[in-house]
Every structure is written in structure tokens, then in C-alpha cells.
């Protein structure tokens, strides 16, 4: 009887079930490939992840005649289960790390806010009137006028430079 059942064409439900499982496995494979590498390394499942990705490529698909073997359905269900377990474990490690990092960041603070009334800005640390609007007006600095002695010095240096340049060009 079992041999006769195997020789019969597969039921439409088998093909539909397999196509739904195939879509799910495709989504899980995409998730496996996009998982952060550092997180996968910390979880110790990098070889498991790569074996799952390689194993997905070797899964049996629907044949050209539109038939599905029962072994293919079992294999894809097993692959989906292993992928889901691996992904959830890696994600749990990521969540745990995030909670620990937030715990370290806010370790010194209490959950309740404390308010205090102050009489003046002098009582509050790091607050002053000079750091708020309206900004203090900037005063323009006037340039010093060039006095005669500076003009003669720079003029003399420029004249010496010009004489040196002219004599150099005349020699060639």
C-alpha cells in the first residue's frame, strides 16, 4: 500500500506546503547572511551559520514535473528549525549585550529625577549669562597706522630686492 502511495503523483497540498516552506527558508537564509559578523563570532555560531547557508544551497527543490519528494519536505523543515534556533540565539546575545552596555552607561544614575529650586545662576554649575542670547556685542579693533620708520624699512628692503633681481637678469 505504501509503495502505491509513493508511486501516485503528489498532492497539491504537498507542493503548496513545500512552496511556503521554501519561501520561509529563503527569508531565513537572507537573515542569516545579514547578521552582524561580530555578533555571530561572539555567539560561537559562525561555523553553524556558514554550514546552514551552504546547506540551503543543497536543499532539494520542486522538480520540473512539479513533484516534491517527502524527504525534501522533511529536510527543509529540519533546516528551518535549525536556522530559527540559531538566529534566535544570536539575537538573544545581541539583546543581552545591549542591555549590559546600557546598564554600564547609566550605572551611576538613579531612575528618579531630582529637582532643586535655585535663587540665581551662580548656584548652578556650568551656566552663565555669557553663553546665552543676546550675545555680547563685539568691538572692532582698529589697525595701527603705518608709521614712517616702518615704511622706510619695507621700502628699502623692496628696493634692494628689485636691484638684486635686475642685476641677476642683466648677467644672463
Q: Give pLDDT, residue 10.
A: 46
Q: What is the mean pLDDT of residues 63-82?
A: 84
Q: Taking the C-alpha atoms of 30, 34, 37 and 42 in order, what is their torsion angle to the nearest 10 degrees?
A: -70
User: What ranges do the domains of the chain cover?
Assistant: 12-104
- Residue 84, all three cell numbers: 530559527
Q: In which element (H, E) is residue 157 found?
A: helix 148-171
Q: What distance in Å separates the CA atoms of residue 89 and residue 39, rounded to the nearest whole number?
A: 11
User: Residue 138, Cα to own-chain centre: how many angstroms?
Assistant: 43
Give the CA diameter of the chain: 121
Residue of higher predicted confidence among 59 and 3: 59
The answer to whether residues 80 and 21 touch, using CB atoms and an 8 Å cutoff, is yes
Residue of higher predicted confidence among 154 and 112: 154
Residue of higher predicted confidence among 121 and 75: 75
Output the average pLDDT for the chain.
77
The answer to whether residues 25 and 59 touch, using CB atoms and an 8 Å cutoff, is yes
Nearest partner of 22 among 95, 103, 87, 79, judged by Cα: 79
Q: Give pLDDT, residue 73.
A: 86
Q: What does pTM read for this prediction?
A: 0.51
Q: Please, which residues have CB within 8 angstroms of residue 17's CB and are 6 or more apart in sequence?
A: 73
pLDDT bin (cut points 50, 70, 90) of residue 166 is very high
CA angle 147, 148, 151 (to 5 degrees): 90
- Convert the pLDDT of each residue in 13-46 to its tens digit: 678 888 888 898 988 898 888 888 888 888 888 8
Q: Give pLDDT, residue 139.
A: 76
Please identify which residue in the block is written with the cell numbers 563570532.
Answer: 41
Amino acid at each position: 500500500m505504501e509503495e502505491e502511495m509513493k508511486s501516485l503523483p503528489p498532492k497539491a497540498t504537498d507542493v503548496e506546503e513545500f512552496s511556503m516552506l521554501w519561501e520561509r527558508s529563503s527569508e531565513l537564509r537572507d537573515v542569516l547572511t545579514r547578521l552582524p559578523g561580530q555578533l555571530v563570532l561572539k555567539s560561537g555560531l559562525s561555523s553553524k551559520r556558514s554550514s546552514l547557508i551552504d546547506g540551503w544551497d543543497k536543499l532539494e527543490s520542486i522538480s520540473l514535473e512539479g513533484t516534491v519528494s517527502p524527504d525534501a519536505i522533511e529536510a527543509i523543515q529540519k533546516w528551518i528549525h535549525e536556522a530559527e534556533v540559531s538566529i534566535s540565539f544570536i539575537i538573544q546575545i545581541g539583546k543581552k549585550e545591549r542591555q549590559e552596555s546600557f546598564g554600564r552607561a547609566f550605572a551611576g544614575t538613579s531612575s528618579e529625577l531630582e529637582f532643586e529650586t535655585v535663587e540665581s545662576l551662580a548656584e548652578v554649575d556650568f551656566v552663565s549669562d555669557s553663553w546665552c542670547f543676546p550675545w555680547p556685542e563685539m568691538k572692532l579693533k582698529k589697525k595701527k597706522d603705518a608709521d614712517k620708520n616702518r615704511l622706510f624699512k619695507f621700502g628699502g628692503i623692496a628696493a634692494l630686492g628689485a636691484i638684486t633681481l635686475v642685476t641677476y637678469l642683466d648677467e644672463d
